[in-house]
Amino acid sequence: MSEGAWERVLSPIQGELLEMQKIVRQSLHSSKAPAAGEPGQLLTFASQHTLPSVLVLLCARLFGPPAAPVIALAAVVHFIYLAARSHQSVQEWPGTGDPRECYQYPVLVGDYLYSHFFNCLCRHGILSYLQPLARVICQISEGSILRLQNNKEISRAELLRKAALKEGALLLGESCRLAARLCGASEEEEEILYRFGLNYGMALVLNDLGFEVRAYVEKALALLDRLPLGEAREALKELVVLWYQAARPDLALQVV
């Protein structure tokens, strides 16, 4: 996705996104934990790293301007996402060089970021969301274990699909649902956004693994059509379409 297209998607939530980044910066700079290295190394707000937070803010915007608890939730999701990515980057030590670079450092950084997720929930008064988010973190870990297993009872393709659901899609689904809940959405709207996040998340993860993901993208877009009209819904649709067009330029996707 081009920088200009990404900026268009972010236009409805630019202010809230900056507030989210401020929370993250303050949290990291206030910590002196030596295991984390330089906090500045963790302050990455590139588009691929802020996507879960962007979804939180856009989903909330469907129902009105995102309030402070929603912005805090976006920061919490950012910590969880980066922590999971850090743990998933762990490599087997080849027996030469510094083992810290292969697995010790990524594990410590991931644990450090997970601690900030919990601290952020407490500081911003949304501790009631600890249970669903902790459940997602358990699923992420289960997905990583599953992906590395040599399970001969199911095909490798099916194993990767199951791992993709746990490692990536569930976080996006739950993030979208909790954002809607914070804004007073109906249970039906919460469920629609949860399923939207699941389908979009599956598309993101499985595309990187070489799977055909058009069906997931079309399902995500169809779910968005059941939500309130407005700038936020159009931004969500544009986000999905532009990502797919960039990922699969050989396959046209018509969107009404």
Residue 18 domain-assigned?
Answer: yes
- 20-38 pLDDT tens trace: 999 998 888 765 544 444 4
Q: Which domain holds residue 28?
A: 3-247
Higher pLDDT, 250 or 133: 133
Residue 9 domain-assigned?
Answer: yes
Residue 200 domain-assigned?
Answer: yes
Q: Using CA atoms, how far apart are residues 221 and 200, in angstroms rounded to an integer?
A: 9
- 216-241 pLDDT tens trace: 999 999 999 999 999 999 999 999 99
pLDDT score recorded for residue 41: 46
Residue 223 domain-assigned?
Answer: yes
Asked whether the beta carbons of 86 and 113 are under 8 A apart, the reply is: yes
Q: Which residues contact 211 (CB under 8 A, 6 or more apart)?
A: 157, 160, 161
- Mean pLDDT, range 181-203, rounded to an integer: 96
pLDDT score recorded for residue 40: 43
Report residue 114's pLDDT band, with 50, 70 and 90 as the boundaries.
Answer: confident
Higher pLDDT, 23 or 92: 23
Report residue 256's pLDDT band, with 50, 70 and 90 as the boundaries.
Answer: very low
Residue 98 domain-assigned?
Answer: yes
pLDDT score recorded for residue 174: 97
- Mean pLDDT, range 86-94, rounded to an integer: 66
pLDDT score recorded for residue 111: 82
Q: Is the pLDDT of residue 87 over 60?
A: yes
pLDDT score recorded for residue 46: 53
CATH of the domain at 198: 1.10.600.10
Residue 256 domain-assigned?
Answer: no
Residue 253 domain-assigned?
Answer: no
Q: Rounded mean pLDDT of the chain?
A: 85
Nearest of 44, 179, 11, 188 to residue 113 by alpha carbon: 44
Q: Domain tally for the chain?
A: 1
- 29-64 pLDDT tens trace: 765 544 444 444 445 555 567 899 999 999 999 999
Percent of the chain with pLDDT over 90: 55
Q: Is the pLDDT of residue 149 over 80?
A: no
- Mean pLDDT, range 197-205, rounded to an integer: 96
Asked whether the beta carbons of 68 and 183 are under 8 A apart, the reply is: no
3-state secondary structure the chain: CCHHHHHHHHHHHHHHHHHHHHHHHHHHHCCCCHHHCCHHHHCCCCHHHHHHHHHHHHHHHCCCCCCHHHHHHHHHHHHHHHHHHHHHCCCCCCCCCCHHHHHHHHHHHHHHHHHHHHHHHHHCCCHHHHHHHHHHHHHHHHHHHHHHCCCCCCCHHHHHHHHHHHHHHHHHHHHHHHHHHHCCCCHHHHHHHHHHHHHHHHHHHHHHCCCCCHHHHHHHHHHHCCCCCCHHHHHHHHHHHHHHHHHCCCCCCCCC
Q: Is the pLDDT of residue 98 over 60?
A: yes
Residue 164 domain-assigned?
Answer: yes
Q: Using CA atoms, how far apart are residues 174 and 57, in angstroms rounded to an integer?
A: 13
pLDDT score recorded for residue 246: 82
Q: Is the pLDDT of residue 15 over 90?
A: yes
- 128-142 pLDDT tens trace: 999 999 999 999 999
Cβ–Cβ contacts within 10 Å for residue 232, how many?
22
